[in-house]
Each structure stands twice: as C-alpha cells, then as structure tokens.
A = this chain, B = another copy of it.
C-alpha cells in the first residue's frame, strides 16, 4: 500500500529518514506492506513555486494515509514561504476534513516529566481529541480587519462537527485501558460553556452523544480548570475532547508535562483518511546537523500503522524504540549525545 510522505523543512527530512528506515526494515524482516512515496513539500518548495496548495491537495486525495514531517522556515517569512506552508498544514486538515486531531499525552520510558509526582512511564497517559475542522481556527479562512482599527474572527461550532468529534472521543475511550490512576474510562468535555453560547452548544451536543455510551463516564470541565488539572492530577485523565483552539494550547501544555514536543505525536483523522505528524516544528536552528530527536516522528509512524490496521508492527516499533531509550541511547535534547542516525540504528538493531 502506498503512503504519502511529506518531507517538510528543517529537521523534517532527517527525522523522516529515520521513519522510512524503520518502515523499510519492517518490510524486509516482517513483511509489512507499506510503500512510502516521498514528496519534497515544505516552505522551501512552496516558496520557489515547485508546489502549490491545489496541486498538493490533489495528490493527497489519492492516498489513504499521509506521513507528514514539520513544515516552515522562518527565513522565508518575507517571501511568503512560511505563510504558504502554514496554509498547506491547515488546508490539509480542513479541505481533507480530517476532523479528529488525536494527541496522546504519554510519559514514555526513559523520559523525564517536569512534574514532581510523575516519574514512571505511563503514569501520565491520556489522549486529547482536538476538534480539527471548525471552532476558532476555521476563521483562518475568513477574518476581518477594518480600517486598521478593528479585527474580528469567528468561532463556529456546528452540531455535525460536535456530534462526530464527541462520538470519536467515546469510541476511542472504549479502546483504552482507562486512566492510569484507577483505570476508569472517561471522556471530559472541555469548554467555557459558562461564558460563551458556542461552547454551551458544544457541551450540549456532547452530552446528547454521551447518553449513547453508558459504559464510559462523561465529565465536564472548563478550559481554565483543565489547564490546572493537567498539571495537578494528569493521572486521572483518560480522554479529553475540546474545541480546535483550546486543543492547540492544551495539547502543548500536555506535551510539556511529558518531556516536551520532542515526544508529542499526533494523527489527523477523518472517516476514511489519516495524516500523522509530530506536534513539534521544523527546528531550523539544528537542521542538517544530525542531532534531531526523531521520537515524535517515529511515534507518529507507529500511530499510522496502528490506524491502518497494522497494530502488530506498531507494537514492534514502540518496543524497539523504548528499548533503545531504556538502554541509554539519547539525543542531545534528552541529555545524551547520540546522533539522529545512531539513535535510529539502535532502534533498528532492537527490532
């Protein structure tokens, strides 16, 4: 099966290289039937006109799964390359209707949390479902500035959008082991329904959907309270579902509690397509130096395989990655001095 691979900018090609090596090894040794089709799409090739948005979307529609490296290059801010890359990222999510942005917050083996009470792998282990097709973000494609005096963006919440994202969250909760603390399966609806009607609407639809999932506890929390909760009692969390902008901020908060963006992986999922990507950026400052941490890219690959139905291969990736880290192999951001290639080789050796 062909998978679209977007190499991106900065450290993108380097960490994607790690992911592809792993996919190829799974193919050679265990018969995984995945063929990565590489595209040099990123701020650079958008800037020099090699690619444009429509062309990219047309290509993307041919695939069931996309593996995406980070895009963007601050050097191209004035020429428009950075803005174009951002448009590509958001258009892939919106135009392909990849409505569920799945962001696991998981303390991996060998990684240190900045939180005092959380030291064991999986002592933090929950998933944020960020609504990815409407909310405040949809105003990226609208938005008004009037006479340099006033600017307005809209937060749009629909019944359809909220129903499907709520269902997605409950279906995911079913498949989890529940919260690390007591194994209770729950979905928390996160909003500011006390302040805004659109959030009250979100909460109401969520609540309607929840009645179809008796076996999962439906909970409700305001976004400010959730920001606290994720720091004070993350072990009580299982699945969180929230609006697009809140999901953006809370998922970065969650990433910080499990060691930073280097370990934050994600999937953007519709009913028939999925795009998988690290949450971190293209880190141009360390690009080309063979020191980038490919963990989030590799975990995104594992997530993709799992979503495609290749759970067995996903497990092989995670086991060998965790074993490599446990055996002390660490990139500079993790306090070690392994190169990206050495880190990758150690995983391959463990497979």
Contact = CB atoms under 8 A, between A and B. Distances in A.
A35 interface: no
Interface string A249-271: 11111011100110000000000
A313 interface: no
Copies per complex?
Answer: 2
Contacts of A149: 158-160
Given A152-B156, A154-B152, A260 B248 contact: no
A143 B253 contact: no
A303 interface: no
A272 interface: no
A201 interface: yes
A145 B252 CA distance: 30
B154 A153 contact: yes
Given A143-B198, A150-B157, 14 more contacts: A114-B232, A136-B196, A139-B155, A139-B198, A151-B156, A151-B202, A152-B155, A152-B156, A152-B157, A152-B198, A227-B253, A227-B256, A228-B256, A253-B253
Interface of A: 86, 90, 113-117, 136-137, 139-140, 143-145, 148-160, 192, 194-202, 223-225, 227-228, 231-232, 245-246, 248-253, 255-257, 260-261
29 contacts: A86-B194, A114-B115, A114-B116, A115-B116, A136-B136, A136-B155, A137-B195, A139-B197, A139-B198, A145-B197, A145-B198, A145-B201, A149-B159, A150-B157, A151-B158, A151-B198, A151-B201, A152-B156, A153-B198, A153-B199, A223-B249, A227-B227, A227-B249, A227-B252, A228-B260, A231-B231, A231-B253, A232-B256, A249-B249
* 9 A-B pairs closest in CB distance: A143-B197, A151-B201, A224-B252, A151-B198, A231-B256, A227-B253, A228-B256, A153-B198, A153-B155
